[in-house]
Amino acid sequence: MLEPGEILGLRPADANGQFPARPPQRQTCGSLQQLQAHSRGIHLICAQGCWSVQILTPRLFRLRFGLRPASANGPSGDFLPRRSWDVALADEEWPPTSFQLQESPAQVHLSTSLVQVRIDRDPIRFSFQDSQGQEFCADVPFGLTWGSDGIRLCKHLHPAEHIYGLGERAGLLNKRGRRYSHWTRDCWNYDAHSDNLYQAIPFALFLRPNLCYGLFLHCTHWSQFDLGQIDPEQWAIEVRAPELDYYLIYGPTPALVLETYTQLTGRPPLPPLWALGYQQCRWSYASAAQVQTVAQQFRQRQIPCDVIYLDIDYMRGYRVFTWDPRRFPEPARLMAQLHEAGFRVVAIVDPGVKFEPEADYAVFDEGLAQDFFIRRADGHLFHGYVWPGKVLFPDFLRPGVRQWWGSWQRVLTQAGVDGIWNDMNEPALNDRPFGDGGQIVDIPLDAPQGPPDEPTTHAEVHNLYGLLMTRASREGLEQLNPNRRPFVLTRSGFAGIQRWAAVWTGDNQSSWEHLEMSLPMLLNLGLSGVSFVGADIGGFGGNATPELFARWMQMGILYPLMRGHSALGTRPHEPWSFGLEVETICRQAIQLRYQLLPYLYSLFWESSQTGSPILRPLLYEFPDDPQTYEISDQAMLGSALLAAPVVRPGVRCRAVYLPQGTWFDWWTGQAHTGPRYILVPAPLEQLPLFVRGGSVLPLAPPCPSTAHLRRDQPHLKLYPGNGSFTLYEDDGETLAHRAGAWATTFFRLQQQDSQLILGIGARQGNWIPPERSWLLEPLGHTPLSLPDTGQPQQVLWPTPEDPPFS
| Cβ neighbours, 10 Å, residue 32 | 20
b/e per residue, 578-612, with b = 16+ CB within 10 A?
Answer: beeebbbbbbbbbbbbbbbbbbbbbbbbbbbeebb
The count of residues in the chain is: 806
Ranges of beta strands (E only) in 574-694 are 615-616, 635-637, 641-643, 653-665, 671-681, 689-692
Listed in sequence order, the residues at least 6 apart from 684 whose beta carbon sits closer than 8 Å to its beta carbon are 547, 550, 551, 581, 585, 652
Terminal-to-terminal C-alpha distance of the chain: 74
In sequence order, the β-bridge partners of residue 54 are 41, 62
DSSP for 41-109, written as a single string: EEEEEETTEEEEEEEEETTEEEEEEEEPPTT-SS-----PPPPTT-SSPPGGGSPP---EEEE-SSEEE
Catalytic residue of the set 139, 226, 395, 423 = 423
Tell me which of 130, 243, 350, 426 is the catalytic residue.
426
- Residue 380's φ and ψ, nearest 5 degrees, are -80, 150
CA angle, 504 as apex, 461 and 386 as ends, to 5°?
Answer: 60
Distances from the Cα of 147 to the Cαs of 18, 162, 241, 479, in angstroms? 17, 30, 11, 47
Instruction: Give residues with Cβ within 8 angstroms of 494, minimum separation 6.
Output: 87, 184, 199, 200, 201, 220, 463, 464, 466, 467
Say whether 418 is catalytic. no
∠ Cα 425 428 430 (to 5°): 155
Of 472, 474, 465, 519, which is closest to residue 492 (Cα–Cα)?
A: 465
With CA atoms as reference, report the closest residue to 390 among 449, 421, 430, 361.
430
Determine the 3-state secondary structure of 111 from DSSP: strand
Quick one: residue 210, left, alpha or beta (phi over 0 = left, psi -120 to 50 = alpha)?
Answer: left
Among this protein's residues, is 753 annotated catalytic?
no
CB 541 within 8 A of CB 187: no
SS3 for 764? strand
Q: Which residue out of 186, 475, 507, 633 is catalytically annotated?
A: 507
**Which helix (H) or strand (E) segment is 587 a member of?**
helix 580-595
What is the C-alpha separation between 706 and 485, in angstroms, rounded?
Answer: 15
Q: Active-site residue 802, yes or no?
A: no
Beta bridge partners of 723: 749
Q: Look at residues 705, 489, 679, 684 and name the one whose alpha carbon lies nearest to residue 585.
A: 684
Strands in 311-400 per DSSP E: 344-349, 353-354, 384-386, 389-392
Beta-carbon contacts of 378 under 8 Å, excluding residues fewer than 6 positions away, are none
* 8 A C-beta contact, residue 639 and residue 661: no
Element (H, E) at 256: helix 254-265
Rounded distance between C-alpha atoms, residue 574 and residue 299, angstroms: 13
CA dihedral 22, 25, 30, 35 (to 10 degrees): -50
Q: How far is CA 688 from the centre of its chain?
A: 25
Residue 405 near residue 478, CB atoms below 8 Å:
no
Give catalytic residues, as residue numbers: 423, 426, 507
